[in-house]
């Protein structure tokens, strides 16, 4: 089935196709399939027929201009198809035992079809170009950053400049002091991978040397002809068993600097830094559909570890079939999106491929992930041929190489990667930790006692068990902090974000907070727009926190886009919400700047941006239901044209007129409100309003009714309270804020995208210049956790600003017993905010209540309270606290006293 074969299987023809060469009758008898599996075979047979048709069409296209008098070395499409079918399904294949050697067994299968190999594998071997694009992107990043002695300034590589930083494709002569990378394609077969890589980098200029290692003389001969035709003198074809290939036989290797295996726990081997101009191994190793065909895969994978440079990258694309039982509790696999294969499909594909000596059992991929650290993974299906599961995996050397010695420099580097703050203080040792873990943690604590974080605990546990670190530790950036994606508190969101854009007014936040270079900010992520706004003000650090992993995936995508893309691409993705080339940009430019889980998420959801019939980013997430509801209501009441006029009118007076005469009667009436707006399902699913917040809205409305000049004798209903709250939200906005020119929050709801005239601050060209500058995100840490969990890991007095949005509204008011004893979840969070904040530090929050009950808790726990915005100011109901006006009040709580001072005074 594979791209090639670096070593043969024990008999058979190495499974170089997805179809068994045995007869169907014999196969069914041997496998003893049940009825369900037999049906699957029939379905897959149809898929195979489609494969033949597709292959035939592909071959016909590639040969339609050929001369009719072609020789046997360049067969026609029909002849290629017939030869393929004969070699794979009819021809008996000799084994090593009957013809002498494993290499002879390979030739028995490949010899007659080497010339038509590439023409008949395009449909079957999916994912190869994606894998090459991913590794090319990673290599370009390393070269441009000068990591591991590669590329960098002064090496003669030409780099495209943008905003003062290097980016884009790397070409040039490489004549300077830094070296070019070496690539070893293990089981490279006909050399298809290497030629395909030319779409992404200049092979002859980017690489010092490329080695194709394969054990089939026929395939190697095809590869030699290919590279002679291409004129690539730096590509060498080595016909040998991959286990016997040693780079030092062909390259000048400095043994003292190699450090490419577990026996070299030096600092240079940890970070992959070697002397300029000297090679310590291959910077890139690839395996394309060959690992599943290697019977002795343990020795192959072990040999790759010694072949890879300390800073190098290894990439594999291959078939697989695996159950979630195998990997659910592993924290180092880089994410589990789409990895599970169902019971029947899993067993069917394993049995089917096994007939051709292609092994899909999980041990191969598991051992690969155990021996190396995971950088990125992709789990996909070949939909053309019966949804065959395949994966793409990018990895690096498992670091550190030794648990017996952790130099202070290595400890400091782990600290920079693992800890949420340079001054955070979680517990190192838990009650469930093993003695080995405790011993290692104690040793590290003596070396660097400031290292305390949940992520660091996980790293220590993995190191003590000789496991790779979680994939977050192998990323190129340290923005995203490790989290366990299998915890129920994260899986409850079903891989969907609620907000595609942030509902807090960044302009008001900027005026209220006035951030400076010494500020350390903690803020809820939401859609990340506010986080980018804070980063534009260049504080010392910004901690973004959200319990929903998908919300943080969205922030990561925005950060990666500013890091890697030009302004026009950033605008298309986040301004228009659609980009036809998003998937290509994700793989070729954004992937080096994303964590493994965020990359998998957006690869699985690339259709959001690329679907030509879709509405784009801003019609996604839980909040899309509110947007779609308005679109449905406006259509039902025939006022879509009024919405278009509302967004095109140049004056505020014209906007008011259209809203009050056409739109408001349709949207804000008792029928629509009672049927939809005030329902629990709509409030929670579409607007994200929890029950406690609804209770605050009802309580405020009840208070207003009692204090009015004509109080009602009956308690107002929820529908009445919600209708009044909605009216108090929208009426002032439409009367005082011109949507088309100065209110992007409502514009995007109505239009589905932003405009060049009206958009959030972070989407301006000036903002792009700031956020795309080198080091713009060095102070960013993205936490996937509860606020109180992160706060508990800050050393007292390190935080200056906390922006908690309306999260305090979600807490239950304390019971009388909790109130008496000074307990409650809200009070506990307020105390943690007090501990983390320095004296004078501020908490900014918004609330659905005019006088939230928890403000009193802040005052009791050492804060001074100041309401800086309120819709009920005594001047009527036409007050806006900001351009969103979604909340009834906005507050600044300033820390006045430490908790210890409160205890002493008591």
Judge if 413 and 333 occupy the same domain. Answer: no
Q: Tell me which of 616 and 456 has the higher pLDDT.
A: 616
Judge if 306 and 453 occupy the same domain. Answer: no
Judge if 350 and 204 occupy the same domain. Answer: yes
What per-residue confidence (pLDDT) applies to 452?
57
pLDDT (mean) for 638-659: 92
Q: Tell me which of 558 and 630 has the higher pLDDT.
A: 558
Most confident of 228-242, 342-356, 786-800: 228-242
Residue 825: CB atoms within 10 A of its CB come to: 13
| Each residue's pLDDT tens digit, 259-285 | 343 333 333 334 444 444 444 689 999
Neighbouring-strand partners of residue 905: none
With respect to residue 671, please indicate whether it lies within any of the assigned structural domains. Answer: yes
In degrees rounded to 5, what are phi and psi of residue 545?
-130, 130
For residue 360, pLDDT beyond 50 = yes
- Cα gap 110→189, rounded to integer Å: 10
User: What's the token pair of residue 273?
Assistant: 């830094």
pLDDT (mean) for 392-397: 96
With respect to residue 767, please indicate whether it lies within any of the assigned structural domains. Answer: no
- Cα gap 416→38, rounded to integer Å: 55
Judge if 286 and 419 occupy the same domain. Answer: no
With cut-offs at 50, 70 and 90, classify the pLDDT of residue 466: confident
Contact 656, 735 (CB under 8 A): yes
Q: Tell me which of 262 and 188 has the higher pLDDT.
A: 188
Q: What is each CA distance from 785 to 330, 333, 455, 525, 552, in whole angstroms?
A: 19, 20, 12, 11, 10
Judge if 205 and 336 occupy the same domain. Answer: yes
Q: Tell me which of 149 and 98 has the higher pLDDT.
A: 149
With cut-offs at 50, 70 and 90, classify the pLDDT of residue 52: very low
Judge if 359 and 463 occupy the same domain. Answer: no
Mean pLDDT of the residues in the chain: 78
62 exposure class (CB count in 10 Å sphere: 0-12, 13-18, 19+): middle
The residue out of 363, 397, 431 marking a domain boundary is 397
Q: Tell me which of 716 and 876 has the higher pLDDT.
A: 716
Q: What percentage of the chain carries pLDDT values higher than 90?
A: 47
pLDDT (mean) for 445-462: 63
Cα 627 from chain centroid (whole Å): 26
For residue 46, pLDDT beyond 50 = no
With respect to residue 4, please indicate whether it lies within any of the assigned structural domains. Answer: no
Q: Count the residues in the chain.
A: 906
Lowest mean pLDDT among 201-205, 472-476, 671-675, 761-765: 671-675
What per-residue confidence (pLDDT) applies to 688?
67
For residue 443, pLDDT beyond 70 = no
- Cα gap 730→719, rounded to integer Å: 16
Q: What is the pTM of this model?
A: 0.83
User: What's the token pair of residue 31?
Assistant: 């496998």
For residue 423, pLDDT beyond 90 = no
pLDDT (mean) for 558-569: 98
Judge if 340 and 224 occupy the same domain. Answer: yes
Judge if 186 and 315 occupy the same domain. Answer: yes
User: DSSP letters of 796-857?
Assistant: TT-EEEEEEETGGGGSPPPPHHHHHHT--HHHHHHHHHHHHEEEEEEEEEEESSSS-TTHHH
Contact 826, 451 (CB under 8 A): no
With respect to residue 700, please indicate whether it lies within any of the assigned structural domains. Answer: yes
With cut-offs at 50, 70 and 90, classify the pLDDT of residue 412: low
| Each residue's pLDDT tens digit, 836-866 | 999 999 999 999 999 999 999 999 999 999 9
End-to-end CA distance of the chain: 76
Q: Tell me which of 795 and 880 has the higher pLDDT.
A: 880
Judge if 372 and 461 occupy the same domain. Answer: no
Contact 869, 829 (CB under 8 A): no
What per-residue confidence (pLDDT) applies to 253?
60
Q: What share of the chain is helix, strand, coil (3-state, %, to 5)?
A: 50, 15, 40
With respect to residue 79, please indicate whether it lies within any of the assigned structural domains. Answer: no
DSSP one-letter code for 576: I
Cα 704 from chain centroid (whole Å): 47
Judge if 336 and 286 occupy the same domain. Answer: yes
What per-residue confidence (pLDDT) applies to 707?
66
Alpha helices in 419-528 (DSSP H): 435-447, 454-464, 488-491, 506-513
Q: What is each CA distance from 804 to 60, 523, 528, 843, in whole angstroms?
A: 62, 6, 13, 7
User: What's the token pair of residue 848?
Assistant: 């659905």
What per-residue confidence (pLDDT) applies to 65?
41
CA dihedral 220, 226, 229, 231 (to 10 degrees): -80
With cut-offs at 50, 70 and 90, classify the pLDDT of residue 615: very high
For residue 756, pLDDT beyond 90 = yes
With respect to residue 457, please indicate whether it lies within any of the assigned structural domains. Answer: yes
Give the Cα-Cα-Cα angle 286, 220, 306 (nearest 5 degrees): 35
| Each residue's pLDDT tens digit, 247-260 | 988 887 654 444 34
What per-residue confidence (pLDDT) applies to 817?
87
For residue 402, pLDDT beyond 70 = no
| Each residue's pLDDT tens digit, 504-548 | 999 999 999 999 999 999 999 999 999 999 999 999 999 999 999
User: DSSP letters of 171-228?
Assistant: EE---SSSBPPEEEEET-TTSHHHHHHTTTS-HHHH-SEEEEEES-HHHHHHHHHHHH
**Helix, strand or coil, per DSSP, at residue 526:** coil
Instruction: Specify the residue for token string 């697989």.
Output: 320
Neighbouring-strand partners of residue 161: 166
| Each residue's pLDDT tens digit, 221-248 | 989 999 999 999 999 999 998 888 999 8
Domain count, the chain: 3
Lowest mean pLDDT among 184-188, 434-438, 695-699, 711-715: 434-438
The residue out of 693, 726, 751 marking a domain boundary is 751
DSSP one-letter code for 243: G
Write down the number of H helices and E strands in the chain.
42, 16
Neighbouring-strand partners of residue 236: 211
What per-residue confidence (pLDDT) applies to 562?
98
Judge if 363 and 417 occupy the same domain. Answer: no
| Each residue's pLDDT tens digit, 139-161 | 999 888 887 667 643 333 334 34
Q: Tell me which of 487 and 443 has the higher pLDDT.
A: 487
**Domain extent at residue 225:** 128-150+179-248+280-397
pLDDT (mean) for 469-475: 88
What per-residue confidence (pLDDT) applies to 650?
93
Best CA proximity match to 634, nearest among 653, 618, 647: 647
Sheet containing strand 282-288, edge to edge, reads: 235-239, 209-214, 182-186, 282-288, 308-319, 388-397, 372-382
CATH of the domain at 234: 3.40.50.150
Judge if 365 and 411 occupy the same domain. Answer: no
What per-residue confidence (pLDDT) applies to 685?
62
With cut-offs at 50, 70 and 90, classify the pLDDT of residue 85: low
For residue 389, pLDDT beyond 70 = yes
What per-residue confidence (pLDDT) applies to 168?
39
In degrees rounded to 5, what are phi and psi of residue 592?
-65, -15
With respect to residue 615, please indicate whether it lies within any of the assigned structural domains. Answer: no
Cα 565 from chain centroid (whole Å): 16
With cut-offs at 50, 70 and 90, classify the pLDDT of residue 630: confident
- Cα gap 782→547, rounded to integer Å: 11
User: What's the token pair of residue 489?
Assistant: 């508190």
With cut-offs at 50, 70 and 90, classify the pLDDT of residue 37: very low
With cut-offs at 50, 70 and 90, classify the pLDDT of residue 632: confident
With cut-offs at 50, 70 and 90, classify the pLDDT of residue 626: confident
With cut-offs at 50, 70 and 90, classify the pLDDT of residue 129: very high
With respect to residue 643, please indicate whether it lies within any of the assigned structural domains. Answer: yes
Contact 189, 4 (CB under 8 A): yes
Instruction: Specify the residue for token string 């007939």.
Output: 355
What per-residue confidence (pLDDT) applies to 217?
86
For residue 401, pLDDT beyond 60 = no
User: What's the token pair of residue 815?
Assistant: 């019971």
Q: What percentage of the chain carries pLDDT values higher than 70?
A: 70
What per-residue confidence (pLDDT) applies to 627?
86
pLDDT (mean) for 425-434: 38
Instruction: Specify the residue for token string 């049927």.
Output: 675
The residue out of 751, 784, 818 marking a domain boundary is 751
Q: Tell me which of 673 and 126 has the higher pLDDT.
A: 126
Instruction: Specify the residue for token string 């006006």.
Output: 885
């Amino acid at each position: 089935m594979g791209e090639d074969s670096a070593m043969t299987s024990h008999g058979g023809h190495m499974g170089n196709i997805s179809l068994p060469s045995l007869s169907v009758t014999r196969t069914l008898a041997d496998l003893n399939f049940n009825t369900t599996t037999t049906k699957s075979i029939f379905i897959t047979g149809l898929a195979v027929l489609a494969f033949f048709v597709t292959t035939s069409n592909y071959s016909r296209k590639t040969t339609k201009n050929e001369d009719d008098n072609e020789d046997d070395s360049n067969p026609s499409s029909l002849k290629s198809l017939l030869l393929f079918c004969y070699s794979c399904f009819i021809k008996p294949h000799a084994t090593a035992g009957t013809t002498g050697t494993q290499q002879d067994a390979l030739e028995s299968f490949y010899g007659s079809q080497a010339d038509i190999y590439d023409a008949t594998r395009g449909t079957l071997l999916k994912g190869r170009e994606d894998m090459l694009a991913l590794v090319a992107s990673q290599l370009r990043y390393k070269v441009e950053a000068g990591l591991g002695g590669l590329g960098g300034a002064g090496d003669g590589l030409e780099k495209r400049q943008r905003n003062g930083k290097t980016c884009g494709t790397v070409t040039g002569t490489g004549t300077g002091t830094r070296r070019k990378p070496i690539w070893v394609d293990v089981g490279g077969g006909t050399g298809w991978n290497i030629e395909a890589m030319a779409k992404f980098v200049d092979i002859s200029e980017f690489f010092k040397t490329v080695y194709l290692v394969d054990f089939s003389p026929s395939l190697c001969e095809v590869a030699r002809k290919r590279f002679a035709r291409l004129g690539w003198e730096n590509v060498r074809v080595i016909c040998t068993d991959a286990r016997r290939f040693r780079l030092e036989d062909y390259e000048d290797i400095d043994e003292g600097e190699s450090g490419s295996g577990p026996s070299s726990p030096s600092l240079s081997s940890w970070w992959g830094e070697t002397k300029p101009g000297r090679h310590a191994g291959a910077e890139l190793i690839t395996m394309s559909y060959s690992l599943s065909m290697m019977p002795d895969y343990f020795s192959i994978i072990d040999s790759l570890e010694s072949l890879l440079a300390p800073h190098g990258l290894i990439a594999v694309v291959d078939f697989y079939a695996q159950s979630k039982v195998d990997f659910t509790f592993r924290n180092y696999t880089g994410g589990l999106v789409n990895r599970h294969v169902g019971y029947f499909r899993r067993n069917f594909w394993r049995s089917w491929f096994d007939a051709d000596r292609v092994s899909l059992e999980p041990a191969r991929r598991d051992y690969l992930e155990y021996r190396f650290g995971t950088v990125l993974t992709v789990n996909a299906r070949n939909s053309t041929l019966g949804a065959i599961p395949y994966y793409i995996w990018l990895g690096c050397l498992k670091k550190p190489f030794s648990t017996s010695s952790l130099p202070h420099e290595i400890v400091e580097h782990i600290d920079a990667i693992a800890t949420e703050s340079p001054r955070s203080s979680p517990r190192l040792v838990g009650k469930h930790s093993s003695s080995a873990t405790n011993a290692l943690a104690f040793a590290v604590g003596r070396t660097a006692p400031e290292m305390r974080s949940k992520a660091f605990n996980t790293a220590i546990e993995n190191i003590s068990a000789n496991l790779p670190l979680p994939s977050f530790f192998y990323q190129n950036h340290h923005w995203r902090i490790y989290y366990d994606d299998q915890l129920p508190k994260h899986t409850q969101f079903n891989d969907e974000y609620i907000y595609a854009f942030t509902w807090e007014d960044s302009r008001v936040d900027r005026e209220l907070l006035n951030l400076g270079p010494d500020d350390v900010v903690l803020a809820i992520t939401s859609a990340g727009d506010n986080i980018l706004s804070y980063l534009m003000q260049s504080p010392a650090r910004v901690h973004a926190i959200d319990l929903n992993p998908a919300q943080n995936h969205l922030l990561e995508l925005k950060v990666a886009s500013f890091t890697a893309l030009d302004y026009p691409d950033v605008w298309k993705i986040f301004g228009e919400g659609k980009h036809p080339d998003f998937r290509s940009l994700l793989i070729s430019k954004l992937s080096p700047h994303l964590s493994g889980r965020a990359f998998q998420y957006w690869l699985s959801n690339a259709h959001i941006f690329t679907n030509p019939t879709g509405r784009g980013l801003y019609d996604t997430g839980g909040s899309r239901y509110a947007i779609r509801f308005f679109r449905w209501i406006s259509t039902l009441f025939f006022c879509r044209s009024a919405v278009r006029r509302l967004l095109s009118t140049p004056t505020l007076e014209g906007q008011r007129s259209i809203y009050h005469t056409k739109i408001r009667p349709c949207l804000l009436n008792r029928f629509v409100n009672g049927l939809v707006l005030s329902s629990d399902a709509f409030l929670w699913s579409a607007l994200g309003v929890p029950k406690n917040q609804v209770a605050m809205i009802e309580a405020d409305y009840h208070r207003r009714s009692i204090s009015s000049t004509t109080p009602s004798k009956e308690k107002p209903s929820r529908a009445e309270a919600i209708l009044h709250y909605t009216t108090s939200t929208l009426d002032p906005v439409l009367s005082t804020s011109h949507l088309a020119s100065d209110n992007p929050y409502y514009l995007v709801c109505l239009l589905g995208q932003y405009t060049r005239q009206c958009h959030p601050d972070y989407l301006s060209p000036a903002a792009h210049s700031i956020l795309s500058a080198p080091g713009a995100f060095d102070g960013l840490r993205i936490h996937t956790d509860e606020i109180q969990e992160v706060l508990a890991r800050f050393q007292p007095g390190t935080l200056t600003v906390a922006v908690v949005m309306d999260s305090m509204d979600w807490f239950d008011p304390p019971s009388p017993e909790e109130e008496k004893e000074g307990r409650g979840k809200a009070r506990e969070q307020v105390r943690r905010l007090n501990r983390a904040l320095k004296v004078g530090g501020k908490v900014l929050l918004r609330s659905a209540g005019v006088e939230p009950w928890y403000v009193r808790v802040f005052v009791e726990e050492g804060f001074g309270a100041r309401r800086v915005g309120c819709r009920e100011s005594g001047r009527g109901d036409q007050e806006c606290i900001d351009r969103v006006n979604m909340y009834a009040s906005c507050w600044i709580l300033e820390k006045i006293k430490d908790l210890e001072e409160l205890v002493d005074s008591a």
